[in-house]
Amino acid sequence: MTNQSAYKVLFSAGESSGDQHAANMFLALKQLCPNILGIGMGGTKMRQADIDVRYDSAAIGVIGLVEILKHYGEIRRALNLMKQIVAAEKPDLLVCVDYKEFNLKLAQFAKRQGVKVLFYVSPQVWAWRPGRVVTYGKAIDMMAVIFPFETQYYDAKNVPVRYVGHPSVDKVHPQRSKSEDFALFGLDESRPVVGILPGSRGNEIKRMLPVMLQAVLKLAENRPELQFVLPQADSISDAELAEHLQQVPVSIKVIKQQPYDAIQCCDAVMTTSGTASLEIALLEVPMVIVYRLAAFSYWLGKRLVKIPFIGLPNIIAGKAIVKELIQDQLTADNLATEIKRLLDDQPYRLNCLGELHRVKQLLGEGGGSRNMAELALQMLEKS
């Protein structure tokens, strides 16, 4: 514990999940060091945690080479602004949260400026470009990893690394009982519920939500008793969703700021690949994972990625425990078929539930945000 008032931490989070991780870490850090100051790039969650957000990252939360090139000017502007903050304010610590290539460039600049760098959420070096371990090692003072198997890649190259646990383990908890949520959301407990999670980035909504809604139409046509819920990511505006939802003559209940309560009501979920798939696994709800990139981004990714899965539950399990519908496989027919199987094929459903429970056990007891806060404070006190 310390009352040191001079510490200033600069956070760099480029997308919705990083915004949440940074916010949770800073809240834990303030418990250890109440007078600490947080500034940086992020979004709603970081603001709510009392971090002074100098750049809203909603405009640059994109993935895929083609998508990044389209937003290159804005990404460059954000990077230049963050570099200016590093140079002008000389924070005591830079915490780079995910958003790998952007944060690598920022970390390299900060290192040259004599600012300590803590990288939170390791680049997936086990999936692609393992040689990047050395590159990151030169730009950081500590790599904090969220999966236990990741430490070996950094240890092998003598890069300082600490396993802190996955932050989702702590935060993925519904606020109410399932029955209370059914009543609050106006859902019928006697009828199955299908969840729709189209992603937290604007380009994901454009690519994934239309095909998800086509699948909803097919499901509703054959199964009129089904109920549909869509937990809305904080980074997605009402207008972005309305543009798509108003074209679908099926009742879909949009639920804001209560994703875990919404998900726990579901019997099956269709989700865009990403942190959401891990959160659904922690809630032990059967799912199908989808993703679609621009054609060139996908072509390039296929040549770089060294593992057979993109879904985090499958990566952690080391095998295909939930269906992945990627690129051309992502059709409304395939999506509707898999959701129907998860609802109706009991042996298949029970096997999926058992595997999801195992993934939850593999992720451990949690404490990730607190562990990160303690690690950051250790680095600050050594300054």
Same domain, 344 and 377: no
Can you give the residue range of the structural domain that contains 206?
Answer: 178-362
In this structure, is residue 2 part of a structural domain?
Answer: no
Residue 3 lies in a domain: no
- Average pLDDT of 75-86? 96
Other CB atoms within 10 A of residue 315 CB: 20
pLDDT digits (tens, 9 = 90+) for 336-368: 999 999 999 999 999 999 999 999 998 888 899
Residue 152 has pLDDT above 60, yes or no: yes
Confidence of residue 148 (pLDDT cuts 50, 70, 90): confident
Residues 22 and 94 in one domain: yes
pLDDT above 70: percentage of residues in the chain: 90
In a domain, 1, yes or no: no
More confident residue, 301 or 121: 121
Mean pLDDT across 260-285: 96
Per-residue model confidence as pLDDT tens digits over 292-304: 876 655 555 665 5
Residue indicated by tokens 């603001």: 47
Is 297 contained in some domain? Answer: yes
Shared domain check, 74 and 49: yes
251 closest CA partner among 233, 225, 227: 227
2 pLDDT tier (thresholds 50, 70, 90): very low
Same domain, 335 and 376: no
In a shared domain, residues 316 and 233: yes
Q: Kindly state whether residue 302 falls inside one of the protein's structural domains.
A: yes
- Claim to verify: residue 149 and residue 282 sit in the same structural domain: no
| Token duo for residue 90 | 């000389």
Which of 57-71, 251-265, 353-367 shows the lowest mean pLDDT across its residues? 57-71
Q: Residue 115: what pLDDT?
A: 97
Residue 116 lies in a domain: yes
The predicted structure's pLDDT at residue 6: 75
Which of 228, 286, 230 lies closest to 258 in space, CA to CA? 230
pTM: 0.73
Q: How many domains does the structure of the chain reveal?
A: 2
Output the domain CATH number for residue 69: 3.40.50.2000
Q: Which amino acid is at 47?
A: R
> Which tokens go with 207?
């690519």
Q: Are residues 94 and 199 in the same domain?
A: no
Position with higher pLDDT, 363 vs 231: 231
146 and 229: one domain? no
Confidence bin at 58 (pLDDT 50/70/90):
confident
199 and 137 within one domain: no
Rounded average pLDDT over 309-314: 88
* 28 contacts 1 by C-beta, under 8 angstroms: no
Q: What pLDDT score does 150 carry?
A: 87
Q: Are residues 375 and 327 in the same domain?
A: no
Q: 307 pLDDT band (50/70/90 cuts)?
A: low
For the ranges 45-54, 56-65, 207-216, 370-379, which has the lowest average pLDDT?
56-65
Q: How confident is the model at residue 4 (pLDDT cuts 50, 70, 90)?
A: very low
Token pair in block for residue 380 = 């600050």
- Please classify residue 136 by burial: count the beta carbons closer than 10 Å to its beta carbon, then call 0-12 exposed, 13-18 middle and 19+ buried: buried
Strands (E) located in 142-267: 142-145, 161-163, 193-197, 227-232, 252-256
- Is 220 among the domain residues? yes
Q: How far apart are CA 270 and CA 155, in angstroms?
A: 37
Strand order in the sheet with 227-232: 252-256, 227-232, 193-197, 268-272, 287-291, 323-326
